[in-house]
Amino acid sequence: MLLKDEVEMLKRVPIFARIAPAKLKLLAFTSDRVTYQSGQTLFHQGDMADAAYVILTGTADILVDSPAGQIKVADVEVNSIVGEIAILCDVSRTATVKATSRLEALRISKEHFLKLLSDFPEMAVEIMRVLADRLNHTTSELTAARSRQSQLQPVSTH
């Protein structure tokens, strides 16, 4: 794929929408284009965070380890970013991401990603928006799960 095509794809990603094309060209040039087949893992929960991934084509599942095995907590779609939480918080990966179809992504190194955030405050604001949306979604799901659980528990009549 040509650099200009990658720049066009990056423009569709909400966190990069307001960044100048020349800067997106530099981002595309300094990032690695990676391809995964269905079933392949982009990274595992607990791994050290060395990069964020912008999904250009394909889909993936976000999986979290639990005592009962892996639980799917979200879908990853085109134009989304994964792996940024561990970079921003400087922690190990908080989930496993596994391709559910052939997937192409732009792998942005931790160093380049952090530099982008310092150079483009508007990108940092957009990432906060993405993370806030995810937190809101997770909170809603947790509330619903707790509600279902409380309905299943017998009521004490003491």
**pTM, two decimal places:** 0.81
Whether residue 157 is predicted with pLDDT greater than 80 in this model: the reply is no
Q: For residue range 130-146, list pLDDT tens digits in order.
A: 888 888 888 888 888 88
100 confidence band (pLDDT: 50, 70, 90): very high
The pLDDT assigned to 1 comes to 58
Closest to 31 in 3D by CA, of 119, 105, 120: 105
Q: For residue range 10-42, list pLDDT tens digits in order.
A: 888 888 887 888 888 888 888 999 999 999 999
The alpha helices in the chain, defined as continuous H runs, are 3-11, 21-30, 84-89, 110-119, 121-152
- Give the percent of the chain with pLDDT over 70: 96
Specify which residues 62 forms β-bridges with: 74, 97
Domains of the chain: residue spans and CATH: 3-151 (2.60.120.10)
- Give the percent of the chain with pLDDT over 90: 41
